[in-house]
Amino acid sequence: MDRPVRAHPGGDRGRCRHSDAGVSALLIAGTTSDAGKSMVVAGLCRLLARKGIRVAPFKAQNMSNNSAVTVEGGEIGRAQAMQARAAGLAPSVRFNPVLLKPGSDRTSQLVVRGQVAGTMAAGDYLTRRRRLAEVVNADLESLRAEFDVVICEGAGSPAEINLRATDLANMGLARAGGLPVVVVGDIDRGGLLAHLFGTVAVLEPQDQKLISGFLVNKFRGDPALLEPGLRQLQELSGRPTYGVIPYLDGLWLDTEDSLSVQAGQALGRPIEPRGADWLTVAAVRLPRISNSTDVEALACEPGVAVRWVADAAEIAEADVVVVPGSKATVSDLGWLRERGLADVVRAHAAAGRPVLGVCGGFQMLCRSIEDVVESGSGRVEGLGLLDADIVFEREKTLRHWDTPLHGYEIHHGQVTRSAETDWLGVGLRRGAVYGTHWHGLLDNDEVRRGWLTEAAAAAGRSGFEVAGDISVTARRDGQLDLMADALTDHVDLDALLGLLDGVPARPVIGTSLGSVGT
């Protein structure tokens, strides 16, 4: 049944177009990973949803160990769950039909429509591409038929021409769906004008024709100094820049890309304590870290300073140690031992100071891990800080909880024996050592405040005071609004959203740099 077509925020120009293939969609690609694609997609979803337009996010294929559980009991990239929230939707497997979770430099766990479909090496991709493309294209078309607008996010960069033959998320998706493409780049890293021009120039002509224009992200300084460069870029490429988005210090929650999680890096912007003492948190930056977002709730609290660490001295100096999730639990446990971090974590716990393990980190704290599923290592000795045993099951546990606490579980490992005290019905504890399989547990404000009070006491920080007015959920929603407001204030939305009516005619860049052909 036909639905009324809603106007774009810019006015009468650029109405959502129904077609035989469905309704309007566009693709936000990037010059690099962490260029700002996820932020732009979330911001567009938020600002369209605020205007009553039914919008959905879509990422054909994601490669990330930060994931979330959907309403169907499946697994998708966390960024797509965040974008769904921006659109006012519950997360669904349709928003990210293919998810690759790297377990090593050469292999990844393949998740299709939310469920594990095996392990895939890089060389296996070509043989599976046809089936994965069918899944991706079917899910995109179903969303285009159901929603007024679908905002798609690319993966990595479309300029990875060595991967073009197997591409599902960038120009392969755009070509299959007839999608206009906007390329966003991070100017804070330098060289952006070359990145934008070069991204178009290396593409084959049919792909170039789908590149409609550019967005500049993370700009600091006077836009007037950049304007001549953007004008020359348009002359050279035949494509406009739709906006220059400033660097926003407030955007740090729900980071997905590993480039945003580096050892030695402080998380967020620490807020002055309410009491006399700070509480310092060392979050271990594991090589195959997953769901690194679990510690973000701590960084929202006044007086809590969270830092990603991979150095024994930094762990020894911290008040609290958090061992986060891992996509390669046994391998990362071995890394802890090789780096001397395991002994420091044990010493920290032996001194009665707090240690928290989440999911894979929880499993590492236990007495033993038996794994014939993820690593094939069999039985290995854990850190022994919790008297419990873990056995990896082939069937992955995927659960989403909403009451009385909210959180989600994504794990193969199961607790098969425990002599420890129950912790909140969602984990185990021994003194100041805590472990849970739940992701997002610390987003529960009362749970976080209670745990921080216990942790500060165990760390000897009697002057630390927990704030009673911090809502992590409100902080996450506020960040989504910040994204939408930044796009509203700094992007020509009439022109950008006008692309939803179809792909505009754009020239093909010739083989001689600096020339423009048609």
Active site residue ranges: 359, 439
The DSSP H or E segment spanning 341 is: helix 341-350
CA torsion angle 255 257 259 262 (round to 10): 50
Specify burial of residue 222 (Cβ count, 10 A radius: 0-12, 13-18, 19+).
exposed
Nearest-10 crossing angle of helices 472-490, 37-50: 90
Bridge partners for 304 per DSSP? 279
Which tokens sit at 406? 């909210």
Identity of the residue numbered 157: S
Residues 6+ apart with CB under 8 A from 333: 342, 364, 369, 380, 382, 383
What is the rounded end-to-end Cα distance, in angstroms, of the chain?
A: 40
Residues 6+ apart with CB under 8 A from 451: 356, 434, 442
Identity of the residue numbered 118: G
Contacts from 261-265 at CB under 8 Å and sequence distance 24+? 261/285, 261/289, 261/292, 261/308, 262/308, 263/308, 263/309, 263/310, 263/311, 264/307, 264/308, 264/309, 264/310, 264/311, 264/314, 265/307, 265/308
> How many Å separate Cα 177 from the centre of its chain?
24
- Name the phi and psi angles at 188, rounded to 5: -65, -25
